[in-house]
């Protein structure tokens, strides 16, 4: 894999926001009895659904061969799994429904994500090819991984949580706020990969359509 070391404006904004998140508790950001957290959760669900639709549209709109198309359909499924996890597989919006229903949804989504790798040879080849040749926005990706780990640490009271959570009452808020740069950064990485895919396809098409210069013959 190749690394693009550009520090994009979006990454800088997300990084600054991530640094400021612990101060939301220090400055007593209003929780409004959970309303603030609920609004953030709803916005995140809409964002993940947008990521799913955007990626799905890219997979079907672009003229892709079997390998790239299967990869982007798989990527769209990742967004759907993240949406399911974010909403407890729908339990957040339908708390009265049987627990078994949400368990079934989680099994189906995660199962589809895993089994598609086993049953699709074109997907496996595409993943391996991208791991070898793809160019990744390394700083954006690093921020995505870091903010995910921080959010997970705050949620489960892991070792590093006390560096970011200064007041226990703000646990849910801090956790959700750290998921924002994770989700937005993930979309930035995905969008950059899409642009590289389109650029490569355009270059290939241009190479095919451009006639080769004829070498003059000498008599």
pLDDT of residue 179: 97
What rounded mean pLDDT belongs to the chain? Answer: 91
- Tally of domains within the chain: 1
The two three-digit tokens of residue 112, written as one number: 């589809």
Confidence of residue 207 (pLDDT cuts 50, 70, 90): confident
* Whether residue 219 has pLDDT greater than 70: no
Residue 25 included in any domain = yes
> How many CB atoms are closer than 10 A to CB 3?
13
Residue 213 included in any domain = no
Residue 76 included in any domain = yes
Residue 91 included in any domain = yes
pLDDT of residue 62: 87
Residue 184 included in any domain = yes
Residue 20 included in any domain = yes
Helix (H) or strand (E) holding 159: none
Kindly state the percentage of the chain with pLDDT values over 70.
95
Highest mean pLDDT among 55-69, 135-149, 153-167: 135-149
Token pair 């799905």 is at which residue? 56
**pLDDT for 154-195, tens place per residue?**
998 888 898 999 899 999 999 999 999 999 999 999 999 999
**HSE, side-chain direction, 13 A CA sphere, residue 166:** 10
Angle at 174 between CA 169 and CA 180, to 5 degrees: 155
* Whether residue 215 has pLDDT greater than 60: no
Task: Name the residue range of residue 187's domain.
Answer: 2-199
pTM (global) more than 0.85: yes
pLDDT of residue 217: 54
Residue 117 included in any domain = yes
pLDDT, mean of residues 138-146: 97
C-alpha span between 164 and 10 (Å, rounded): 22
Residue 215 included in any domain = no
Longest CA–CA span in the chain (Å) reads: 90
pLDDT of residue 202: 80
pLDDT of residue 204: 76
pLDDT of residue 218: 55
């Amino acid at each position: 894999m190749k690394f693009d070391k550009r520090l994009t404006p979006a990454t800088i904004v997300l990084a600054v926001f991530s640094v400021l998140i612990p101060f939301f508790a220090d400055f007593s950001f209003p929780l409004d009895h959970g309303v603030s957290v609920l609004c953030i959760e709803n916005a995140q669900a809409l964002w993940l659904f947008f990521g799913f639709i955007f990626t799905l549209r890219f997979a079907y709109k672009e003229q892709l061969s079997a390998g790239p198309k299967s990869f982007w359909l798989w990527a769209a499924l990742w967004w759907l799994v993240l949406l399911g996890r974010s909403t407890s597989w729908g339990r957040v919006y339908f708390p009265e429904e049987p627990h078994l229903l949400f368990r079934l949804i989680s099994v189906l989504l995660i199962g589809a994500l895993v089994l598609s790798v086993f049953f699709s040879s074109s997907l496996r080849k595409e993943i391996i090819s991208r791991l070898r040749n793809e160019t990744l926005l390394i700083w954006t990706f690093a921020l995505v991984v870091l903010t995910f780990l921080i959010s997970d640490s705050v949620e489960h009271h892991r070792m590093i949580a006390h560096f970011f959570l200064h007041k226990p009452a703000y646990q849910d808020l801090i956790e959700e706020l750290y998921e924002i740069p994770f989700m937005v950064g993930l979309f930035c990485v995905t969008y950059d990969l899409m642009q590289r895919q389109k650029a490569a396809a355009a270059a290939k098409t241009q190479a095919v359509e451009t006639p080769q210069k004829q070498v003059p013959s000498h008599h």
